[in-house]
Amino acid sequence: MRKLIIAAVAALTMSMGTAQASGEYHPDFKEASWSFEGFFGRYDQAQLRRGYQIYSQVCSACHGLRLLSYRNLSDLGFTEDEIKEIAAEKSVRVPHDEVGAELNDDGEFFTREAKPSDRFVSPFPNDAAAIDANGALPPDLSLIAKARIGGPHYVYSFLMGYAEEIPEEVSSQKGFTVNEDKNFNLYYPGYYNSMPSQIYDEMVEYEDGTPMTADQHAKDIVAFLNWAAEPELDERKSLGLKVMLFLLVLTAMLYALKRKIWADVKH
Amino acid sequence: MSSPEWKNPVIKWVDTRLPVFSLMHHSTAGYPSPRNLSYWWNFGSLALTVLIVMVLTGIFLVMNYTPHVDMAFDSVERIMRDVNYGWLIRYVHMNGASMFFIVVYVHIFRGIYYGSYKGPREILWILGVVIMLLMMGTAFMGYVLPWGQMSLWGATVITNLFSAFPIVGDFIVTLLWGGFSVDNPTLNRFFSLHYLLPFVLFAVVGLHLWALHSVKSNNPLGVEIKQPEDAIPFHPYYTIKDLFGMSLFFMFFLFFVFWAPNFFGEPDNYIPANPMVTPAHIVPEWYFLPFYAILRAITFDFLWIIPAKLGGVLAMFASILVWIALPWLDRSKVRSARFRPVYKWFFWVLVADFVFLGYLGKMPAEQPYVIMAQLATLYYFAHFLVVLPLMAKLEKSVELPESIAAAVLKKGDA
């Protein structure tokens, strides 16, 4: 056990300093906790559904989730029919029709309704169109909760980190300049983001009676995005518990056997 | 411990024609090991176990991976999301790389502490250094395969190092890239080599074991086996001890796989590779950090002939290659640090220096980290090139026990 702790501490110290590696000032992440954290943590399905509601009503106007399929929504408790309906609202391009024509009579691509097996349809056909419509590229959110230092804590702090007043610690830094065209965010690298603050009280209408505060909305969307990035988390942690229990028993038995075999050997 | 008379007629028939059973006997029940090996001696078999785990998980990953710049990232995500237990296989493989280095670093520093590199184990030790170099190459190329931001930019930085060599440098870099930047041909050749090198590793591990079985294990006392009482058969004593350690180690390993699978990784590698966007900080995987710090420490031209970049590259390679000369740099007759009161302390200073270099490798290349890295690098080389040779002359060692059995049995009586 001692060796284990020593190794863990050594590993920890090796990877420390990630957060402070950039010289820029950013406050510590905002305090928040989620049901999926910790040893026994699991996703809260109701929360994921609320988060999906926010994604589909707000975020999806600009941000894609291209690595997810509509069928994955069954994790959130949607029925097969509901998923078919959700998918059918979108259309996907078809390479050609039955006779092999690539364009219709109007010179446009053929499309069909999306199916549960299709990936989430992104809001823009390509990056250039997305930049043209938004002034900057809204990143795909499939992996956002894994692709930033701090993971969900960063995403939450970022969503809640828009500020009217620029704090002294930021403005006093060498090279800091105010950018009137963009939006100041305490946690964003470089501080100025093209996306304005999106989170406010009652931004969507919850149906399950959960308070519709800005903070609750932010937490719900972050939980959903974490699920989008790590849909295997529930299965991973529950399998992990079983494996650990097995190894615990196996290790104890091997130790007993080792003691027995070595009993009459001085070493 | 000669080979036994096989009673079973089938076994006997096979064994006279192909002595597999005798071989198995020789390397298990018939293989004498010092009776006093501590748990630090578990790490060799642990390393072999991790190698096997890596090869097995790797083979399954390849079944679903696409080595193409347009598809590699998404094919990895498909493994994570749609392949049955793909997330488990990939997380085991990903964390397995870190585990491999943890285990091998312990194994190496155990060898340094107990003087396991000294005669007659020089070739055993040198084969170990070759294994380490092969591992580093394999790990580096494996990290490129998911084709995330760190894959692309890590590959760009590291392959660019070779351009520092005069005359042949640019040729080598073009050869590595298969073109004029890190691109699809680079990914393809790295994939090919990443699959090939582990099998080369197996071969060198085979030689490493062959040499080991010829010279036998060193031990915490550093005194050779001299008489039958000094040794016990490897099986069952060390098979059970290794198995127990292995089970414990898997709990450590799998803790990360199940609860902190991305602990050792860089979040940036979950962003698809983009040649147009350079990440703010390009850092190699943690196990390369001490060497990366040494590379970056050389910020000055050396003797007006060697430019800083080449100096850094040479220093980085030298920091590992110096291990090869270790048996001849440390001329002390005593193996184990237990009986070397001064060396013992310098060993721990070296460990601290190495860990400190790892920390500095993670820090941005600016003051005060640069000067710290320079001092730590200077000390690293001084340990091998100055401290060890001097100590062999000056240090007075404590008296060695007569034999392993004498020391062990005396301790038992007291």
Mean pLDDT for chain B? 94
Mean pLDDT for chain A? 90
Express each pLDDT in B340-396 by its tens digit.
Answer: 999 999 999 999 999 999 999 998 888 899 999 999 999 999 999 999 999 988 988
Express each pLDDT in B89-110 by its tens digit.
Answer: 999 999 999 999 999 999 999 9
Alpha helices in B227-322 (DSSP H): 234-259, 289-297, 308-321
Count CB pairs under 8 A between chains A and B.
126
Confidence of residue B173 (pLDDT cuts 50, 70, 90): very high
Instruction: Please tell me the predicted confidence (pLDDT) of residue A3.
Output: 45
Confidence of residue B412 (pLDDT cuts 50, 70, 90): low
Q: Poorest-confidence range of A88-92, A105-109, B46-50?
A: A105-109
pLDDT at A9 over 50: no
B12 with B218: CB under 8 angstroms? no
Which residue of chain B comes nearest to A251, CA vs CA? B247
CA angle centred on A125, ends A121 and A128, rounded to 5°: 140
Active site residue B333: no
Q: Which residues of chain A neighbour B37 with C-beta distances below 8 Å?
A: 267
Instruction: Please tell me the predicted confidence (pLDDT) of residue A17.
Output: 36
Active site residue B241: yes
- Provide the 3-class DSSP secondary structure of residue A207: coil
User: CB distance A232–B87 less than 8 Å?
Assistant: yes
Q: Which residues of A154-187 are buried (b: 16+ CB within 10 A; e: fewer)?
A: bbbbbbbbbeeeeeeebeeeeeeeeeeebebbbb
Catalytic residue among B15, B242, B266, B330: B242
Q: Is B204 touching A (CB cutoff 8 A)?
A: no
Long-range contacts of A98-102 (CB under 8 A, 24+ apart): none
Confidence of residue A204 (pLDDT cuts 50, 70, 90): very high
User: CB distance A7–B102 less than 8 Å?
Assistant: yes
- Of B131, B102, B149, nearest in space to B204 by CA: B131
| Binding-face residues of B in 237-266 toward A, CB within 8 A | 237, 240-241, 243-244, 247-248, 250-252, 254-255, 257-259, 261-264
Express each pLDDT in B237-278 by its tens digit.
Answer: 999 999 999 999 999 999 999 999 999 999 999 999 999 999
- State the number of CA atoms in the 13 A half-sphere of A105 facing the CB: 0
- Of B152, B133, B66, B73, nearest in space to B323 by CA: B133
H or E element: which one contains A110? strand A110-113
Express each pLDDT in B64-80 by its tens digit.
Answer: 999 999 999 999 999 99
- Give CA B301 to chain center in angstroms: 31
| Binding-face residues of B in 96-135 toward A, CB within 8 A | 98, 102
Catalytic residue among B15, B266, B285, B353: B285
A67 vs B77, B250, B286: nearest CB = B77
B316 with B395: CB under 8 angstroms? no
- Of B98, B49, B284, nearest in space to A7 by CA: B98
Q: Which residues of chain A neighbour B237 with C-beta distances below 8 Å?
A: 261-262, 265
Domains of chain B: 31-284 (1.20.810.10), 289-324+341-396 (no CATH)
Q: What is the mean pLDDT of residues B108-125?
A: 96
Provide, rounded to the nearest whole percent, the portion of chain A with pLDDT above 70.
Answer: 92
User: CB distance B258–A248 less than 8 Å?
Assistant: no
B111, amino acid identity: G
Q: What is the mean pLDDT of residues B333-338?
A: 94
Confidence of residue B411 (pLDDT cuts 50, 70, 90): low
Instruction: Please tell me the predicted confidence (pLDDT) of residue B316.
Output: 94
pLDDT at A5 over 80: no
Instruction: Please tell me the predicted confidence (pLDDT) of residue B300.
Output: 86
Q: Which residues of chain A neighbour B264 with C-beta distances below 8 Å?
A: 11, 15
pLDDT at B414 over 50: no
Express each pLDDT in B140-165 by its tens digit.
Answer: 999 999 999 999 999 999 999 999 99
Alpha helices in A96-144 (DSSP H): 127-134
